[in-house]
Amino acid sequence: MIFREVEDPDLIAKARRGDVEAYNLLVSRWEKRVFNYLLRLVSNREDAMDVSQDVFLKAYQSLPKLDDPARFSGWLFRIAHNEAFSLLRRKRPEAELAGEPRPADLNPRLLPIELSLAVETALGRLSPDQREAVLLKVYQGFKFEEMAEILECPVSTVKSRLYTALDLLKATLAPMHKTALRGES
């Protein structure tokens, strides 16, 4: 169990009063999660870094509008979602020129790093909406209702995107599943 002397809502209250150091501490708690979420969405480290900075700047400027500090994480990821999709919309022609991502080379005997890369490639095959649903649920642990708030859509849409994505991932990663099962038996 991780004991925190100061909880996020305390830091938010201090940051709202202009305490920049309190905000920096809050940023340090969330920046890696936000960066990784953005990295998987925009697929570029520099873009993810730039957008992360924009997200935390916008969050700082909008802190007075945050109604419930206990819901900071969902609110923060809502800003991150908006910024990421704004970038994706601006870069769409470039992305279309780049074409479809290459299929993953799913060698049945993968090292952990290769497995990680295979998962990354499989995620890259999903549509941005589907990928984001997986990121928010599997990697960020949000509940369906929280995801619906972040994405501003009904829970049914969240489930539809996530379930379709899981079916596609299951099919893509199936060769590894079989190998893993054979390895266990």
> Smallest gap, in angstroms, from Cβ of residue 24 to other proteins?
5
Cβ-based neighbours of 139, under 8 Å, separated by 6 or more: 36, 37, 40
SS3 state of residue 177: helix
Q: Select 10 or 31, whichever has its Cβ closest to other proteins.
A: 31
> Smallest gap, in angstroms, from Cβ of residue 176 to other proteins?
6
Helices 144-151 and 72-98: angle between axes, nearest 10 degrees: 60
Q: Select 12 or 169, whichever has its Cβ closest to other proteins.
A: 169
> Smallest gap, in angstroms, from Cβ of residue 67 to other proteins?
23
Cβ-based neighbours of 48, under 8 Å, separated by 6 or more: 35, 38, 39, 41, 42
Q: Select 82 or 121, whichever has its Cβ closest to other proteins.
A: 121
Q: Select 93 or 161, whichever has its Cβ closest to other proteins.
A: 161
Q: List the one residue out of 42, 114, 54, 146 whose CA is nearest residue 85.
A: 42
Question: Residues 44, 46, 50, CA angle at the centre, nearest 5°?
Answer: 115
> Smallest gap, in angstroms, from Cβ of residue 80 to other proteins?
13
Residue with tokens 């570029």: 44
Q: Select 6 or 92, whichever has its Cβ closest to other proteins.
A: 6
Q: How many helices (H) and strands (E) does the chain have?
A: 9, 0
CB contact at 8 A, 42 and 135: no
Where does this chain bind other proteins (CB under 8 A)? 20-21, 23-24, 27-28, 31-32, 35-36, 39, 45-46, 49, 52-53, 56-57, 60, 112-113, 115-116, 119-120, 123, 134, 137-139, 143-144, 159, 162-163, 166, 169-170, 173, 176-177, 180-181
> Smallest gap, in angstroms, from Cβ of residue 54 to other proteins?
10
Tell me the residue type at 163. Y
Q: Select 97 or 113, whichever has its Cβ closest to other proteins.
A: 113
> Smallest gap, in angstroms, from Cβ of residue 119 to other proteins?
5
